[in-house]
Structure formats: structure tokens, C-alpha cells
Amino acid sequence: MHFISTRDQNKTPARFTDILLGGLAPDGGLYLPESYPHIDDATLTRFREVLEKQGYHALAAEVLKLFVDDIPAEDIEGITARAYTTPKFSDEQIVPVTKLEDGIYLGHVSLGPTAAFKDMAMQLLGELFEYELGRRGETLNILGATSGDTGSSAEYAMRGRTGIKVFMLTPAGRMTPFQQAQMFGLDDPNIFNIALDGVFDDCQDVVKAVSADAEFKKNNHIGAVNSINWARLMAQIVYYISSYLRVTSSNDEQVSFSVPTGNFGDVCAGHIAKQMGLPIDRLIVATNENDVLDEFFRTGDYRVRSSADTFETSSPSMDISRASNFERFVFDLLGRDASRIADLFGTQVKQGGFSLSDDPAFGDAATKYGFLSGKSTHADRIETIRDCNARLGVLIDPHTADGVKVARQWVGEIDTPIVVLETALPVKFADTIKEATGLEPETPARFAAIMEAERHVADLPNDAEVVKKFITDRV
């Protein structure tokens, strides 16, 4: 199995363990497999048996083996067994699926140590990083950006690990108090929190700018845990497969997914699972008021917004107007034309975006690739949270509410059950939950003292050079 960059016209092959530690490709592109492995009926039947008899970690190992051939199979099995355990995850199924109402299910991917779906990938990434760095005798300085949950998930996955330091950029004042407390309350010597003067897209741009400096990246052993890292998406493919298996009883059934997304990472994993042959009918992109992705799937126009035009919403992890992983999907949509991708995302996005409305390939987004979309507002979130709690006895977070709202929009128009992928537990967004229900969400016991911890964070300007100096002073 080899991987190629979305912007490399020569399709230079790379191995998994090399791109694991590197993250972004040298040409600024994102890595994808040269070709997707195929899940046929026999493979799906075997996956069903593995999940039922051995559990989620064993299924994860089987999926990883499809993509990774430069780590011994028995080591992959050990890595997934360490990553997906209880009580690290609060349910023995790791990702249980429950019925919400007729035609709609919830995929519970937020039961990990930081109560966010990002734990599903980060716990695996932590194990993979430590394993490969130990094998090579190397160190890694992780640089990332977070709009809410990626940061805490990464830090909890990497804290205390040998040979790893984490530098995490956050948009100053743009996360909930609970999210800030989770990150800034950590005092591990290998964890460094940076509050940047800007919004998430600014943080993401700084990460890309630093990563694009090849000499700095090499000299300081810079790596990535954001969803630009292929291993993140690979980990997320597993819960699409497990959720499909839990909802169905035979391989001839199809399932759709409604995915709250801002950066297109979570739903991109679903896209890849569908291309592998998992019987997915529709992939429904659910956005908040920052609806750049919904606009694209409706019109063909990918119109990125400036920081000033990015709304601060009550589903803050989706307050994103330049979706990094979108490049991976468009690469597939346009027949893997690397030169065109380099122009669209390397040049046109920086100038405000691009349009595929007149391109014949745009129609394939819905027909061949199964994409639908929808938008949710603050009023929609409040009403959806209130309704699910009052009528169904189910409390959901604001991002999951976006997913439910958009799923309800489409449930009558498609014939397959829809699994809404949960984003986080309600406790992370107490103010919005209280506005919707009048009640404070219950705080799980493991988070009881989190708000009282001393804060550890550095305030920095929106300047990649300043961030570079901060890093070099600490590595």
C-alpha cells in the first residue's frame, strides 16, 4: 500500500509510517491511498464476525491492515487493543448505536476520555506515534489547531508519551469554558497551549504556514495531528463500518450517515468507506451558520470566508470557513487530477474560492458519491435539543443537534436508515443545553474537578514567525 499527495502530478509513492509522522505533504497537498482497498461481501461478513466475537479493537486492527503493510500485523493488533479499551472509553462496545426515532439512529462516538468524537482517532494516533518513534529512535513535536475538541483529544492522547511534545493553537476566547478547562488545565511538561489572536481558520493557516517551511519542519521534527493527517481519517473509517454492522443484519442493506462537519474530516472518512465498498447510501453534510460546505453541495460554489465573516455560533467546533479535508474529496471528484487540485486549493482558495457549478463532475457529488447537505441555525439547535430531551428523553450536544436537524430534513426523501454521528457529550456545551432545556447537563464523574484546575496557556499574536520562535524556545 502506497500513498500519494493530492497535488503531486508525478504521484510519488510514500509508505504509511512516513506520512504518519509527516502529516502534510511537502507540496502542500494531502495524502490519500494510491487506490482504495475493496471491501467485498466476504470481507464484510468477516468484519461482522470479528466485531461480534472480539470487539471494536479487533475490527479496527482488521481495517488498519488494509492500509498499513509496514507495521507487522501483530503489532497493529496490539496498538488497537491499547487504544480502544474500557474504562478509557465508557462503553464496552466503544461505539454503540442507539435508535433515536423512526429512521434515525445515533452513533455514539463521544465516549472517550475527552467526551468528543476526536478521541476515536487521537487515541489510536497516540499509540501509533509512540510505537513508530520508538522503533526509529526519533522525537516528534506536534503542531495542531483546534476549534474545540481536537486539541483536548490530542493532548490527552499524547500527554506523558516518550519523545512527543504538543503545541496546540486555539482561537482566543472562541471555545466553551469546559473545552478551555480541559486543555488549559493540563500541566504535563510535554503539553503547550497557545491562544492565538484570531479564529480557527487563522490557527489552521498558521499551522499550514509553519508546516510549509520545509527546513523549519525538518529541523524541529514537526508533525501533525489535525485531520490533515491521513491516520486520523483511517481511524474514523472504522466507526463507519462498525455503525453499519450494528444497524444492519445482512450485507445487502444500505445505511446513510448524517455528519456534523466544518472541516470535512469526519464525513471524508465516510466518503472513503463508501468508495471502499461499504454499503453507504447517502452521506449528509450538516453545517451550522458557517455553511460553506452546504453551499458547495447545493450550488457547486466553494466560497471561503474571511475571519471577519466567520460566525461565532453555539456549535463552535464547526465555526470553520475553509475546510482542509475538502481537498481530498475534490481530488476524487475531479478524477485525481493533481495539477487541477494544486490550482484550486493552492491558488484559487487563497483568492476566495472556486466554482465547479459548470463542471460535469459536479453532478457526481450527489449521484456517484451520494452527498446531500443541509444547514442548521442556533434556533434549530435549541429546538432540536429541547425536542429530543422532552419528547425522546435523549440529551444531545449542539453539533449533534445540527446533525439530527439535517437528518430530519432528509429522512422522508431517502429509503435507508440514517445514523447521525455524535460529536460530543452535552456537558461540553452547558450554556446552550441550559438555554434549550432549562437544566444543566450532568457532568460525568471523571470530569467533576476539571473547571477548578489552574490554567496553563500562552497568548500569542496571529503570526507564524512568533509561533515558530515559541516552538524553538521549547524543543
Can you tell me the distance from the alpha carbon of 365 to that of 359, in angstroms, rounded to the nearest whole number? 11
How far apart, in whole angstroms, are the C-alpha atoms of residue 413 and residue 128? Answer: 41
First-residue to last-residue Cα distance in the chain: 33
Per-residue model confidence as pLDDT tens digits over 284-329: 999 999 999 999 999 999 999 988 888 989 998 888 888 989 999 9
Strands 301-303, 371-375: parallel, antiparallel or unpaired by DSSP? Answer: unpaired
How far is residue 475's CA from residue 240's CA, in Å, rounded to a whole number? 38
Angle at 312 between CA 146 and CA 235, to 5 degrees: 30
CATH code for residues 97-114+230-437:
3.40.50.1100
Residue 196 to residues 100, 152, 192, 202, 216, Cα–Cα distance (Å)? 39, 16, 13, 8, 20
CB 293 within 8 A of CB 374: no
Helical H segments across 300-440, by residue range = 326-333, 338-343, 364-367, 378-392, 398-410, 430-437
Helix/strand number for the chain, H first, E second: 19, 15
**Dihedral sign (CA 232, 319, 179, 436):** negative
Q: Which of 11, 53, 118, 350 is catalytic?
A: 118
- For cell 480541559, the residue is 182
Q: Are 446 and 112 in contact (CB under 8 A)?
A: no
Q: Residues 380, 86: contact at Cβ < 8 Å?
A: no
- List the pLDDT tens digit at each of the 475 positions of the chain: 999 999 999 999 999 998 998 777 889 899 999 999 999 999 999 999 999 999 999 999 999 999 999 999 999 999 999 999 998 999 999 999 999 999 999 999 999 999 999 999 999 999 999 999 999 999 999 998 887 677 888 999 999 998 999 999 999 988 878 888 889 999 999 999 999 999 888 998 999 899 889 899 889 998 877 778 899 999 999 999 999 999 999 999 999 999 999 999 999 999 999 999 999 999 999 999 999 999 999 999 999 998 888 898 999 888 888 898 999 999 999 999 999 999 999 999 999 999 999 999 999 999 999 999 999 999 999 999 999 999 999 999 999 999 999 999 999 999 999 999 999 999 989 999 999 999 999 888 878 788 888 899 999 999 999 999 999 999 8
Residue 60, C-beta contacts closer than 8 angstroms, at least 6 positions apart: 80, 83, 84, 124, 235, 238
Nearest to 19 by CA among 201, 196, 228: 228
Alpha carbon 427 to its chain's center: 20
Report in angstroms the alpha-carbon separations of 371 from 133, 285, 322, 405.
38, 7, 19, 17
pLDDT of residue 148: 67
Cell numbers 500562552: residue: 458
CB 371 within 8 A of CB 396: no
**Structural domain spans, the chain:** 97-114+230-437
H/E stretch holding 216 reads helix 214-219
Question: Does the active-site annotation cover 428?
Answer: no
Q: What is the largest CA-CA distance in the chain?
A: 58
218 near 137, Cβ under 8 Å? Answer: no
Q: Are 336 and 322 in contact (CB under 8 A)?
A: no
In this structure, what C-alpha cell is assigned to residue 345? Answer: 486549493
CB 97 within 8 A of CB 247: yes
DSSP β-bridge partners for residue 195: 170, 459
**Distance (Å, whole) CA 420 – CA 407:** 7
Give 424's strand partners: 116
Using the structure block, give the residue that is written with the C-alpha cell 493530492: 6
| Residue 129 grid cell | 506515534
| 418-421 sheet: strands from edge to edge | 97-101, 104-107, 418-421, 255-260, 280-287, 371-375
Q: What is the pTM of this model?
A: 0.92
**According to the model, what pLDDT value does residue 443 have?**
85
Q: Which residues sit opposite 193 in a β-bridge?
A: 168
Q: Is 435 exposed, middle or buried (0-12, 13-18, 19+ CB in 10 A)?
A: middle
Contacts of 462 (CB under 8 A, 6+ apart): 196, 197, 198, 202, 206
Across all residues in the chain, what is the average pLDDT?
Answer: 94
Give the Cα separation of 377 and 379 in Å (integer). 5
d(CA 473, CA 376): 43
**Cell numbers that stand for 23 in this block:** 502529516
